[in-house]
């Protein structure tokens, strides 16, 4: 019905965005990208379409395109949590840690969630700045004592600095919270000198709700989707679409 309505007004950027966003939320990535691009073809400064297309491109592994879209989105709204968050994670994924941390810190000021402290801690870890990494992971755990991924990260930091007893305490705590995570089980049973699985969190996770994700990735997906709801037309989606359709007929 929506696509039929669009055929009557092919240059309706808002209706194209509405359809693109609908497909985005139900996980039809190819269809979503088509309509988001149509919206931008008609209205190049459509912030929400630009943002969603950037995030969608990142989700599909198209880092270069995603970075360009998110940078352009930030040129329109420098206080967008989702844009700073997405761009920071993408830059971290390609190894540009200095710029990544700037965007993640900006996202942190907008939304001081434990996940943001964890991500910044992970970037500091990659930079070899163990003290700063420890500080941010500890803050993440203070905000959420059941944040298993941050507890595991603290364990790894302690492990690599030969604080074995403290490391095991963190590993056990993470394992008790999320016993399905194989990495935690391995860490609890590890002996001195064993190599342990690295703490995840910098690889780009799927942001689309239909994707299967590890338990410890789900909270990052939810963090972003909650912010997107502030620009989303859903749950007003169908009401707004109906208004557009009535205007066309």
Position 239 pLDDT exceeds 60? no
Whether 158 and 179 share a structural domain: yes
When pLDDT is averaged across residues 152-168 and rounded to a whole number, the result is 93
Predicted confidence (pLDDT) per residue in 182-233, tens digit: 899 999 998 877 788 777 666 655 666 555 556 667 888 889 888 888 776 5
Q: Decide if 12 contacts 42 (C-beta within 8 A).
A: yes
**232 within some domain:** yes
Return the exposure string of 8-43: e unless at least 16 CB atoms fall within 10 Å of the residue's CB, then b. Answer: eeeebbbbbbbbbbbbbbeebbebbbebbebbbebb
Cβ-in-10-Å burial (0-12, 13-18, 19+) of 112 comes to exposed
pLDDT class for 145, splitting at 50, 70, 90?
A: very high
Residue 242: what pLDDT?
45
Segment 79-132, tens digit of pLDDT: 999 999 999 999 999 999 999 999 999 999 999 999 999 999 999 999 999 999
Q: How many whole angstroms separate alpha carbon 43 and alpha carbon 53?
A: 14
92 and 29 fall within a common domain: yes
What percentage of the chain exceeds 90 in pLDDT? 58
Domain count, the chain: 2
pLDDT at 217: 76
Q: How far, CA to CA in Å, does 26 sit from each of 2, 195, 222?
A: 15, 40, 15
Q: What is the CATH number of the domain that holds 157?
A: 1.25.40.10
Asked if 202 contacts 89 with a C-beta cutoff of 8 angstroms, the reply is yes
Asked whether residue 99 is domain-assigned, the answer is yes
CA 108 to chain centre: 13
Residue 9 pLDDT exceeds 70: no
Buried/exposed code over 123-148 (b: 16+ C-beta within 10 A; e: otherwise): bbbbeebeebbbebbbbbbebbeebb
pTM, whole model, 2 decimals? 0.86
* Same-domain status, 23 and 99: yes
Contact 213, 221 (CB under 8 A): yes
Residue 228 counted as domain residue: yes
**Residue 212 belongs to some domain of the structure:** no
| Same-domain check for residues 154 and 72 | no
Range of the domain at 188: 113-202
Tell me: do 100 and 127 sit in the same domain: no
At residue 57, the pLDDT reads 92
Domain shared by 26 and 126, yes or no: no
pLDDT digits (tens, 9 = 90+) for 18-33: 888 888 888 888 989 9
* Domain annotation covers residue 208: no
Tokens of 134: 């420890």
What count of residues does the chain have?
Answer: 249
């Amino acid at each position: 019905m929506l696509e039929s309505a669009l055929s009557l007004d092919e240059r309706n950027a808002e209706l194209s965005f509405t359809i693109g966003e609908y497909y985005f939320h139900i996980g039809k990535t190819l269809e979503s990208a088509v309509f988001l691009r149509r919206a931008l073809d008609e209205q190049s400064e459509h912030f929400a379409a630009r943002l969603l297309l950037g995030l969608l491109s990142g989700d599909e592994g198209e880092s270069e395109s995603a970075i360009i879209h998110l940078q352009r989105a930030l040129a329109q709204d420098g206080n967008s949590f989702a844009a700073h968050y997405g761009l920071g994670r993408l830059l971290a994924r390609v190894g540009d840690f200095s710029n990544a941390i700037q965007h993640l810190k900006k996202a942190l000021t907008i939304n001081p969630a434990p996940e943001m402290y964890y991500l910044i801690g992970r970037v500091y870890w990659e930079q070899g700045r163990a003290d700063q990494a420890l500080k941010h992971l500890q803050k993440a755990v203070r905000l959420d004592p059941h944040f298993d991924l941050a507890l595991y990260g603290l364990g790894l930091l302690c492990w690599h600095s030969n604080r074995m007893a403290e490391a095991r305490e963190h590993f056990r705590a993470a394992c008790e919270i999320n016993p399905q995570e194989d990495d935690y089980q391995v860490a609890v049973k590890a002996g001195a000198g064993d190599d342990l699985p690295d703490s995840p969190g910098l690889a780009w996770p799927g942001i689309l709700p239909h994707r299967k994700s590890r338990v410890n990735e789900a909270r990052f997906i939810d963090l972003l989707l909650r912010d997107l709801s502030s620009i989303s037309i859903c749950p007003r989606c169908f009401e707004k679409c109906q208004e557009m359709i009535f205007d066309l007929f």
